[in-house]
Amino acid sequence: MAHQVTMGAMLQCSCGTAPSSLNVLPLKRVLAEGPPAANIMDHAPMVNIMPFGMCNSLANPTVASATAAAMGVLTPMPCIPMTVAPWIPGAPTVLIANQPALNNNSKCLCTWGGSISVTNPATVKTLLP
């Protein structure tokens, strides 16, 4: 069983150097153990998904430029998430604001090559099928 993800859940990007937290806007939402519950559409960069410290992905143009300027030595640059697609797969049998609920097994892909995962869903009792 997967856990429902809510605002304040801890996230980690495979290309980031620090964890981040999920922000869920409380518009037409249900509460799960206190904070608003998330759905798969809570993927907007700098609104729902905050930066992960520094980015190590050479697919990120700023990292590629800094690395080239450093004669090929990988030079991390500040993370600016580029999440253009929803979280996958979500919980298709549970809808929140007419979208599948976000569970702790879901992933969100960053355009720069990172895979964002939920490390702590911020719930302990709310399980999803």
**Closest to 118 measured CA to CA, from 25, 65, 43:** 43
Each residue of 40-59: pLDDT tens digit?
Answer: 999 999 999 999 999 999 99
CA torsion 68→70→75→77, rounded to 10°?
-70
Quote the pTM value.
0.92
pLDDT at position 128 over 90: no
- pLDDT band per the 50, 70, 90 thresholds, residue 28: confident
Whole-angstrom Cα distance, residue 40 to residue 55? 24
* Whole-number pLDDT of residue 26: 86
The percent of residues above 70 in pLDDT, for the chain, comes to: 100
Second CATH level (architecture) for the domain 1-52+80-129: Sandwich (2.60)
User: Beta-carbon neighbour count of residue 92 at 10 Å?
Assistant: 12
Contacts with 49 (C-beta within 8 Å, 6 or more apart), sequence order: 11, 20, 22, 23, 43, 81, 83, 108, 116
pLDDT in tens, 103-123: 999 999 999 999 999 999 999
**Residue ranges per domain, the chain?**
1-52+80-129
Question: How confident is residue 29, by pLDDT bands cut at 50, 70 and 90?
Answer: confident
pLDDT band at 95; cut points 50, 70, 90:
very high
Tens digits of per-residue pLDDT, 58-85? Answer: 999 999 999 999 999 999 999 999 999 9
The pair of structure tokens assigned to 85 is 């697609």
